[in-house]
Chains A and B, each alone.
Chain A
């Protein structure tokens, strides 16, 4: 019993970072422009033209052009991401067909989970099948992480972008760091 107590490493509850412990890094993404876009099928062509990319129509898929990306969220809903200060909102303001575009740049916080085993780190709190067959590079989906809702986007084989609401970001960040520690063990 005493041996066990000595062998187990006690983690401080406020401990952050895990440099040198594992292969997966959990880092804050750069600030970004984000738009929640809702539109009916007949508006998709005009919106795609204004955005300079084809809005994805298949579930769990994304399309991108340069830094700009469109994530399929639902049959009439997309999350658009672009670099901070982009013309995303202005581009959409020019579209005359009926749609709803809400600037949610500051509602969300992005967290990038990358490195070998990143899928296992996300799976620490996300119940979706993240194998490459089921969730390939470029796949994106709204889902859950622990107690909160997130949007998950696989940007590379070993890299995920987690988008969560600002007030949940502390929870998401700590959760993913703790999960990264567990995976490292």
Chain B
């Protein structure tokens, strides 16, 4: 079973306690009435859904109940990191190449990051 770390419970819990809640960092415009239909549709419906690393919201619904964000590889299902709601989007390059990394798991062995425009 996939284990997911909840940043509020501060430990890994079985995936059955969680629900995926879609793409993270979507910001609703404060003035939607001034938005074009196309822009609003883009906000409301269109998602990146990349093959590779994606920023997602998760909810620990059968645990602490909190929403949080995660960086997950949609190919390998590996979670690179989780962080509390409201915290800034982490830098993926830093996650993939932490300076203090031991040579145990070279970053190049991970699945490639989705390139811009490659949906």
Binding site for B on A (CB under 8 A): 59-60, 73-75, 77, 127-128, 141-144, 149
Pairwise interchain contact B63-A141, C-beta atoms closer than 8 A = yes
Q: Is B99 an interface residue (CB 8 A)?
A: no
A149 CB contacts on chain B under 8 angstroms = 62
Which residues on B are within 8 Å of A, measured CB to CB?
A: 1, 8-11, 13-14, 16-17, 62-66
Q: Pick 9 A–B contacts, CB within 8 A, sort by A.
A: A59-B10, A59-B11, A74-B64, A127-B17, A142-B62, A143-B17, A143-B62, A143-B63, A144-B17
Could you tell me the distance between the alpha carbons of A149 and B16 in the complex, rounded to whole angstroms?
A: 10
Query: Closest chain A residue to B10 by CB distance?
Result: A59
Contact check, B8 vs A75: say whether CB atoms are below 8 A apart: yes
- B84 CB to nearest chain A CB (Å): 9
**Contact status A74-B66, CB under 8 Å:** yes
Q: B64 contacts which chain A residues (CB < 8 A)? A: 59, 73-75, 77, 142
A163 to chain B, nearest CB (A): 13
Contact A144-B16, Cβ < 8 Å, known A59-B8, A59-B11, A75-B8: yes
- Min CB distance A62 to B, Å, is 14
Nearest-CB residue, chain A, relative to B64: A74
B residues in contact with A59, CB < 8 Å: 8-11, 64
Q: Min CB distance, A71 to chain B, in Å?
A: 12
